[in-house]
Structure 1
Amino acid sequence: MGDCSAEVEFGGNAAPEAEVASTPGLDASQNVSTRRAKWTGGVEDVLMDCPVDAVWELASDWANWQRWWPGNPTFELREGENRKAGCLRYATNVRSLPGAWVNERLLAIDNEKHCFSYTVEANEVYGGLTGYIAEAQFRGTDDGKTLVEFFKYEVEPVTNQTPESWLFIMTNVYMSVVKDLERGAQRLAAGLDPKPEHTSRA
Structure 2
Amino acid sequence: MAEQKKWEGTVSTTLENANADQIWPFWKDFYGVNKWFPGNTTCEGIHGNNGEPGCIRHCGDLPVPAIDGSASSWHRERLIAIDDIEKSFSYEILDSNFGVKSYVASVKIDPLAGGDSGRGCRIEWRFTVEPVEGWRLEDMVSNYEVWLKIMVKNMEAAVFDHSS
RMSD: 2.6
Letter in 1 for 2:89: F
Residue correspondence of structure 1 range 99-138 to structure 2 within 5 A: 99-125=72-98, 128-138=99-109
1: CA distance between counterparts of 2:39 and 2:74? 15
Q: Kindly indicate which of the two structures has a greater share of residues assigned to strand.
A: 2
- SS of 1:185's equivalent? helix
Letter in 2 for 1:63: Y
Quick one: which of 43, 50, 53 aligns to 1:82? 50
2: CA distance between counterparts of 1:38 and 1:105? 20
Which segments of 5 or more consecutive residues in structure 1 lack a partner in the other structure? 1-33, 192-202
Change (3 A) 1:187 1:155: same
Q: Which residue of 2 aligns with 1:167?
A: 141
1:56 aligns with 2:24: yes
Change (3 A) 1:166 1:77: same
**1:54–1:186 contact (8 Å) kept in structure 2:** no
- SS of 2:141's equivalent? helix
Structure 1, 63-72 or 85-94: larger mean CA deviation? 63-72
**2:105–2:127 contact (8 Å) kept in structure 1:** yes
* Number of aligned residues: 154
Shift of 1:39: 0.7
**1:132–1:156 contact (8 Å) kept in structure 2:** yes
Moved beyond 6 Å, runs of 4+ = none
Q: Which residue of 2 aligns with 1:140?
A: 111
Shift of 1:170: 2.6
2: CA distance between counterparts of 1:109 and 1:134? 12
Which segments of 5 or more consecutive residues in structure 2 lack a partner in the other structure? 66-71
Percent identical pairs in the alignment equals 27
Letter in 2 for 1:156: E
Name the TM-score, length of structure 1 as normaliser: 0.66
- SS of 2:79's equivalent? strand
